[in-house]
Amino acid sequence: MRKSLFLISAAVSAMLVGSVSAETKAEKSIEYRQGVYTVIGWNFGTMAAMVKGEVPYDKEAFAKRAANVATMAPMVLEGFGPGTDKGAPTKAKPEIWTKMDDFKSKLAKMNEEATKLAAISKTGSFDEIKKQFGATGASCRACHDDYKAK
């Protein structure tokens, strides 16, 4: 009898947890993608300050930041699953989910440019790095222009 009550209780708990998980999955995915974007933005901002001459250029620090962005960039798409167009406050435009192929294409371009930036930041001249930084920033902007609410 005790074992039966335990099993029934466990089954009910699992159903409730599953229900709660389904309700919070979109919220957690949105939090995840916002966290990834925060890390990218943090690192990109430091590189931008170096490129603009607002802080002294430090090749090692720049390379580290570029590697961080290249690592994080492929993680963005994970936060844009079905149903994540709502569930928490977000600046993501609804067009993401109706134009997902274009969105994925732009994310792939960002990943490609971020990977190039990480590679060139290790060996390239500052002029080459600035040029690739510009290309990487443009790939980010292309997505923001179409898919991020102001």
Please tell me the predicted confidence (pLDDT) of residue 16.
Answer: 43
Q: Is residue 4 part of a domain?
A: no
Question: How would residue 150 be classed by pLDDT, with cut points 50, 70 and 90?
Answer: confident
Domain count, the chain: 1
CATH number of the domain enclosing 85: 1.20.120.10
Q: What digits encode the pLDDT tens for the residues 46-100? A: 999 999 999 999 999 999 999 999 999 999 999 999 999 998 999 999 999 999 9
Q: Is residue 133 part of a domain?
A: yes
Question: How would residue 15 be classed by pLDDT, with cut points 50, 70 and 90?
Answer: very low
Could you tell me which residues are beta bridge partners of residue 92? 148
Mean pLDDT value of segment 140-145: 94
Cβ partners under 8 Å of residue 97, min gap 6: 80, 82, 85
Question: How would residue 2 be classed by pLDDT, with cut points 50, 70 and 90?
Answer: low
Please tell me the predicted confidence (pLDDT) of residue 21.
Answer: 53
Could you tell me the two tokens for 102? 């274009």
Q: Is residue 125 part of a domain?
A: yes
Nearest alpha-carbon partner for 149 in 102, 88, 110, 93: 93
Q: Is residue 12 part of a domain?
A: no
Q: Is residue 10 part of a domain?
A: no
State the residue range of the domain holding 63: 25-147
User: Which amino acid belongs to residue 124?
Assistant: G
Q: How many CA atoms lie within 13 A of 8 on its CB side?
A: 5
Q: Is residue 16 part of a domain?
A: no
Mean pLDDT value of segment 6-32: 60
Residues recorded for the chain: 150
Q: What digits encode the pLDDT tens for the residues 89-134? A: 999 999 999 999 999 999 999 999 999 999 999 999 999 999 999 9
